[in-house]
Amino acid sequence: MNTRRNNIAVLLVVGLLMSSCEEAVKDVKGPKELVPEISLGTTIGSLVELFSADSIPVEGYGLVAGLNGTGSVECPPRIRAYLQQYILKQLPTDVLKPDEFISSLNTAVVLVEGIMPRAVGKNQYFDVRITALPGTQTTSLEGGRLYKTELKAAGGFGITIKVLARAEGPVFIDTINPKESNKRIGYILAGGSVLDEYKINLALRQPNYRIASMIRNKLNERFGEGTAEAISPSQIELKVPAKYKDQKQRFISIVKATYLAETTEITRERISTFVKKLAVSEDKDTYEAGLEAIGIDGVGKLGALLNSSNAEVRFRAARCMLNLGSDVGLEALREISSTKNSPYRIAALEAITAAGSRTDAATISRKLLRDDDFSIRLAAYEQLRKLDDISISRELISRDFFLEQITQTQHKGVFVTRSGQPRIVLFGAPLYCHENIFVQSPDGNITINAPSGQPYVSIIRKHPKRPNVILQLKSPYDVSDIIRKLCEEPLKKVGKGGVGLNVSYAEGIALLKEMCYKGALDAKFRAGPLPKIDLIIKIR
């Protein structure tokens, strides 16, 4: 009975503390925030509407150049007029005549579409899809390069519409499954670039400058000065803290779950309630966010959940504890990431990278590079890449993609990306080919050949625009050197021959696939997924 009286008293204290804003919130009927069956105070989420689209569809019209007569002269007049003006802004008039450039069979006018991420910093990259305009005679975009293109909100077109992003880069057409490819459609992997920073906006349901100031002060106290800025009595701008730059949705959830008023007693009551709910409720996201919003005071109670028989509860408790600075949470996540049958191994590894020390994250990830499960090795590599760890060597090839090599694994493999930044990753480097190699591209224009006993690999390419000209280079059996010889650009200005045959990234990864499948090297080949732009655009 005394405990109940104390709880009631605590709630009354919080009510008095919040009396300055009760008039503004008493008639608000927003979404229920945390534990609807018990009143634990007023959360920020109950006072505001949050505006932050996960993505913004963007589009524009651009020119793909460098085609070998597979483009077209057709271009709708309105788009032609726009492109003429854009070309004149980008290039000096004495270099080319815009109309002739647009009408060349070596260029094609394309629709460029992408899904631009929001609440990010400037220059964040994203994939874009390019499509030859309907009604044009363009037969293939393969081998082309998209000139810098303005991207605006989907549905907007014209010189006066605000430019949100730009896109440019080499055209990628999937060659891993060539039968499924449409050469009138391609991608520019990581070719879109965001021009401005888009912040998260909180709009008070009932404008009140005092409450806006309270929210601003609370969030700056919790996440650091500069996180929140009260723009007006009805609007607060949020900047995602560095800690949450890869966890925007988590940050938003914590903001919504943050209480404006607190006392020692009510904080204890909240922690106790949320820990119990995290253990049994299906809505675990809400209660984990609520505990993280409260802060370090919740670590002690959370520790009890590390002994739960429920694997998800153990993982969430450990992640929340690490996010709050607890080494106990780190050790629990380390154990989860190493447990062979745990469905939370990758999530635990990601949580360690996001909130643990650089040294701890790198040490754990390096160990997991030797795991038997490829998905775990790939996840460990991705975390080490985020950390810019020395275990990954990296070099830019032909200005278009990265060749990355990892030595700390006995599992030999080749992984290539087909979305995001183009990358060829060699696991278990250095990788070497066998003798007696013969691999050709589907069109027969590129050959990789090494008869038994030959001390080098011959790489032969027919000139893309002069079929009678044959280009040939020699390479050691080292796969990384073969990739360089295939894809690097020729050194035209030096006059001493070329270092590479300028084979595209798409063609290069298709040849690597054939080398693996035909046993030219003892390594498993795996390709990442294609961009999801098609599905998102279709849905909208």
Q: Select from 194, 228, 253 the last residue of a domain.
A: 194
Whole-angstrom Cα distance, residue 413 to residue 402? 16
CATH of the domain at 327: 1.25.10
Say whether both 360 and 436 belong to one domain.
no
Say whether both 355 and 479 belong to one domain.
no
Query: Which stretches of 284-422 are assigned E, i.e. beta strand?
Result: 392-397, 401-406, 413-416
Q: How far is CA 489 from the centre of its chain?
A: 28
Q: Which two tokens stand for residue 25?
A: 């919130």
At a CB cut-off of 8 Å and minimum separation 6, what does 139 contact?
70, 183, 184
| Least confident among 28-37, 239-248, 403-412, 463-472 | 28-37
Helices vs strands, H then E, count in the chain: 17, 19
| 128 three-state secondary structure | strand
In a domain, 18, yes or no: no
Say whether both 449 and 328 belong to one domain.
no
User: What pLDDT digit, counting tens, does each position of 74-132 carry?
Assistant: 999 999 998 988 887 776 555 568 888 899 999 999 999 999 886 566 678 999 999 99
| Least confident among 90-99, 432-441, 526-535 | 90-99
What DSSP assignment string belongs to 307-370?
G-S-HHHHHHHHHHHHHTT-HHHHHHHHHHHH-TT-TTHHHHHHHHHHHS-HHHHHHHHHHHTT
Amino acid in position 379: A
In a domain, 420, yes or no: yes
User: What pLDDT digit, counting tens, does each position of 173-203 carry?
Assistant: 998 887 767 999 999 999 999 988 777 899 9
| Least confident among 238-247, 307-316, 509-518 | 238-247
Say whether both 330 and 378 belong to one domain.
yes
In a domain, 175, yes or no: yes
In a domain, 261, yes or no: no
Asked whether the predicted pLDDT for residue 31 surpasses 70, the reply is no
The shares of helix, strand and coil residues in the chain, as percent rounded to the nearest 5, are 40, 25, 40
Q: Alpha carbon of 257 to those of 61, 112, 199, 325: distances in Å? A: 43, 39, 19, 19
Say whether both 462 and 334 belong to one domain.
no
Host domain of residue 488: 392-540
Say whether both 85 and 175 belong to one domain.
yes
Asked whether the predicted pLDDT for residue 8 surpasses 60, the reply is no
Planar angle of CA 369, 372, 374, nearest 5 degrees: 70
pLDDT given for residue 13 in this prediction = 36
Question: The tokens 């070309």 sit on which residue?
Answer: 87
Q: What is the mean pLDDT of residues 326-349?
A: 96
Q: Domain tally for the chain?
A: 3
Q: Which two tokens stand for residue 84?
A: 């003429």
Per-residue confidence at 160, pLDDT binned at 50, 70, 90? low
Say whether both 430 and 317 belong to one domain.
no
Q: Select from 324, 359, 389 the last residue of a domain.
A: 389
Contact (Cβ atoms closer than 8 angstroms) between residue 502 and residue 487? yes
Say whether both 167 and 123 belong to one domain.
yes
Say whether both 324 and 400 belong to one domain.
no
pLDDT given for residue 475 in this prediction = 95
How many C-beta atoms lie closer than 10 Å to residue 29's C-beta?
A: 7
Q: Alpha carbon of 522 to those of 177, 451, 477, 519: distances in Å? A: 21, 18, 13, 6
In a domain, 74, yes or no: yes
Contact (Cβ atoms closer than 8 angstroms) between residue 486 and residue 459? yes
Contact (Cβ atoms closer than 8 angstroms) between residue 408 and residue 367? no
**What are the residues facing 413 on neighbouring strands?**
427, 524
In a domain, 21, yes or no: no
Amino acid in position 365: S
Q: Select from 389, 422, 446 the last residue of a domain.
A: 389
Query: Which stretches of 8-106 are assigned E, i.e. beta strand?
Result: 48-51, 55-65
Say whether both 445 and 480 belong to one domain.
yes
Q: Specify the DSSP element, H or E, that contains 447.
A: strand 446-450
Amino acid in position 413: G
Q: Which two tokens stand for residue 148?
A: 């810098």
In a domain, 31, yes or no: no
Residue in 369, 436, 371 with CA at minimum distance from that of residue 405: 369
Say whether both 428 and 351 belong to one domain.
no
In a domain, 69, yes or no: yes
Dihedral of alpha carbons 406, 411, 412, 414, sign: negative
